[in-house]
């Protein structure tokens, strides 16, 4: 039974995603994303699960920065449908304050504004259930999953409070061991800060008729106003055409890192 590290308390959405991806596993909670990654790097766990983007709130910057520095490979992805619950010990009309992770608060912005609730950021959705349970005040609630409510023994006031039903979080599964199969590849690269540098890289993808499924820039922490580009595309890094393409673009990059090839996930 493989051990899977995730950030958060028991009942966190990262744990839910891990349980969804791995039919039989032991999940290990960690305080931070970095700790979850380190656990796999030091082989305390076989895999780690990392949230990278949400369909409503966008990318998780800290996760993308960790992908740049880790020696782990991406071996899978999960699109997990997020359904938020308002959790607390009193009726909705008596609640004036709500705790949760900033991403969850953002995903329930309309609900929070409608009921004039004061949002308080917490380190984790499931952790916010633990917080309000310890505070034991009738006027406070939190936003987390149904599973977190059951685990920590705090009742659900209302379900499905997210602003949009099409609320999905994409998670990556990382491991020290690469996989050979897969129909999707993720890379990180940086180019010289000059006219046409990025265009020339994208032109290579076009010339090889490779479909880009995502491209995003993140600041390079070591050099002001320079950026790393995170790209997902259809294809396997071990395919001859993809190998040839990656070799060509590597000659035009200051930095290129292949995060891994893996099987493309489907929205469930």
Which of 103, 6, 2 has the alpha carbon at shortest distance from 49? 6
Spatial contact of 127 and 58, defined as CB atoms under 8 Å apart: no
Spatial contact of 15 and 7, defined as CB atoms under 8 Å apart: no
Q: Which of 6, 171, 189, 229 is catalytic?
A: 171
Question: Please, what is the end-to-end C-alpha distance for the chain in angstroms?
Answer: 25
Spatial contact of 226 and 193, defined as CB atoms under 8 Å apart: yes
- The DSSP secondary-structure symbol of 208 reads T
User: Residue 29: left (phi > 0), alpha (psi -120 to 50), or beta?
Assistant: beta
C-alpha–C-alpha distance, residues 227 and 27, integer Å: 34
Q: Which of 40, 70, 125, 169 is catalytic?
A: 169
Q: Is residue 171 annotated as a catalytic residue, yes or no?
A: yes
Which of 134, 103, 83 has the alpha carbon at shortest distance from 33? 103
Q: What are phi and psi of 111, to 5 degrees?
A: -65, -45
Q: Is residue 205 annotated as a catalytic residue, yes or no?
A: no
State the catalytic residues: 169, 171
């Amino acid at each position: 039974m493989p051990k899977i590290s995730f950030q958060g308390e028991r009942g966190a959405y990262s744990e839910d995603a891990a349980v969804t991806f791995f039919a039989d596993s032991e999940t290990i909670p960690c305080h931070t994303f970095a700790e979850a990654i380190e656990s796999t790097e030091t082989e305390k766990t076989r895999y780690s699960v990392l949230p990278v983007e949400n369909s409503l709130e966008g990318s998780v910057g800290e996760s993308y920065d960790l992908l740049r520095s880790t020696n782990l490979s991406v071996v899978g992805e999960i699109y997990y449908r997020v359904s938020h619950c308002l959790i607390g010990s009193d009726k909705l009309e008596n609640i004036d304050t709500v705790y949760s992770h900033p991403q969850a608060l953002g995903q329930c912005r309309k609900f929070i504004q409608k009921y004039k609730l004061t949002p308080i950021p917490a380190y984790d959705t499931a952790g916010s259930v633990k917080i309000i349970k310890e505070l034991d005040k009738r006027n406070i609630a939190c936003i987390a999953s149904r599973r977190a409510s059951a685990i920590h023994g705090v009742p659900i006031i209302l379900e499905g409070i997210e602003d949009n039903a099409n609320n999905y979080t994409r998670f990556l599964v990382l491991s020290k061991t690469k996989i050979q199969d897969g129909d999707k590849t993720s890379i990180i690269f940086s180019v010289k800060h000059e006219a046409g540098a990025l265009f020339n890289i994208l032109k290579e993808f076009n010339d090889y008729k490779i479909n880009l499924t995502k491209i995003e820039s993140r600041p390079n922490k070591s050099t002001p106003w320079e950026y790393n580009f995170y790209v997902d595309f259809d294809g396997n890094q071990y395919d001859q055409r993809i190998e040839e393409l990656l070799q060509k673009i590597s000659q035009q990059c200051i930095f290129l890192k292949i995060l891994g090839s893996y099987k493309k996930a489907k929205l469930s």
